Structure 1
Amino acid sequence: MSPIGMGGPALFLGGEETYVALLRPQLDPADPDVRRSAAEAGVTPEEFAGPGNIWALMLDEADGEGDGFELPGARDIEADDFAEQLQRALAAGEEFTAEAGNFLRLEARPAADTWQVTAYVTPPEGHDGAPHTLELGALLAAELLTDLEEFRRALA
């Protein structure tokens, strides 16, 4: 349950088969894979890598139904606020709901040293995907707190 990404800040919640990830990819134009992909796309590596400031939400379900979309207008401060909101809620130890804009809502219930987490994902306007409800399962409280701290450090 550690952060994933492509060189930028990322918060991964869930397991190997069912997860939601909030990330800001940061591709390196000098990376051979980026250069190759840019050539295949017919653009420069710098164009292909992009500005590195666009947030995205990715998800995958146990049945293999994955999706992902950019989050136009999302900023680092909002991602940090969401992470801080989660940290406070986890520390309180009570059932909670946390929201990241209008695209991600988490509902969590404590169960011993884990949290039962359900994610509700609503794609932004213009994305043709349907809303998703993902049961992320029992997530270890200590790992969640560590991941949130690492995510917030990556944003600083």
Structure 2
Amino acid sequence: MSPIVVGGPELFLGAGDVYVALLRPKIDPADPGVRQAAEQAGVTPEEFAGSGDVWTLMYEDGPGHGEFELPGARDVEADGFAEQLQAALASGGPFTVEAGDFLRIDARPAADAWRLTARVTPPEDEEDGAAAPRTVELGALPAAQLLADLEDFRRALA
């Protein structure tokens, strides 16, 4: 069992090794690695695991990948993004939806699918400054599957 990403809400857009995922990981206090780290830190595993309320954005575009935490992001904002994406998909025309300053989705219809492009902008690093934005071509994704994934994501947040 992985110590991270156990049961948190997750929105995965893409396929295979080209994707963008917005998720709220959870740390499993029963994981042996977490227990050991908690012991070294002098706290209980439950205290070490915390509330698991820090959102993360992960992306991969074949040769490159990355992930970063989104400090201050809240469930209500993630739900708002998913709701906007659902509404835009229902409109039937090209659209752009943004999740804060860190993720923009551009979409255009393609038969019974949507061709999605994600623009990922990592937050400024205190030491290195702003990381370069990255464009991830997610390709054509089936409309029905996108809507089902969004509904599942929103239900996990409720």
State the shift of 1:72 in Å.
Answer: 1.0
Answer yes or no: is the 8 Å Cα contact 1:10–1:151 preserved in 2: yes
Secondary structure at 1:107 match in 2: strand
Using the size of structure 2 for normalisation, the TM-score is 0.86
The residue aligned with 1:17 is 17
The residue aligned with 1:150 is 152
The residue aligned with 1:52 is 52
State the shift of 1:131 in Å.
Answer: 1.1
The residue aligned with 2:66 is 67
RMSD of aligned residue pairs (Cα, Å): 1.8
Secondary structure at 1:29 match in 2: coil
Work out the CA distance in 1 between the residues paired with 2:92 and 2:141.
14
Secondary structure at 1:153 match in 2: helix
State the shift of 1:7 in Å.
Answer: 1.4
The residue aligned with 1:111 is 110
Change (3 A) 1:42 1:131: farther
Work out the CA distance in 2 between the residues paired with 1:138 and 1:94.
15
Work out the CA distance in 2 between the residues paired with 1:71 and 1:59.
14
Alignment: residue pair count: 149
The residue aligned with 2:6 is 6
Work out the CA distance in 2 between the residues paired with 1:47 and 1:69.
22
State the shift of 1:86 in Å.
Answer: 0.5
Compare 138-147 and 125-134 and name the one that shifted more. Answer: 125-134
Work out the CA distance in 2 between the residues paired with 1:133 and 1:47.
37
Normalized per residue, which structure has more strand?
2
Work out the CA distance in 1 between the residues paired with 2:34 and 2:79.
28
Secondary structure at 2:124 match in 1: coil
Work out the CA distance in 2 between the residues paired with 1:71 and 1:30.
25
State the shift of 1:34 in Å.
Answer: 3.4
Compare 98-107 and 44-53 and name the one that shifted more. Answer: 44-53
State the shift of 1:66 in Å.
Answer: 1.2
The residue aligned with 2:31 is 31
Using the size of structure 1 for normalisation, the TM-score is 0.87
- List runs of 5+ in structure 1 lacking aligned partners: none
The residue aligned with 2:141 is 139
Work out the CA distance in 2 between the residues paired with 1:150 and 1:33.
30
State the shift of 1:33 in Å.
Answer: 4.8
- List runs of 5+ in structure 2 lacking aligned partners: none
State the shift of 1:47 in Å.
Answer: 5.0
Percent identical pairs in the alignment equals 66
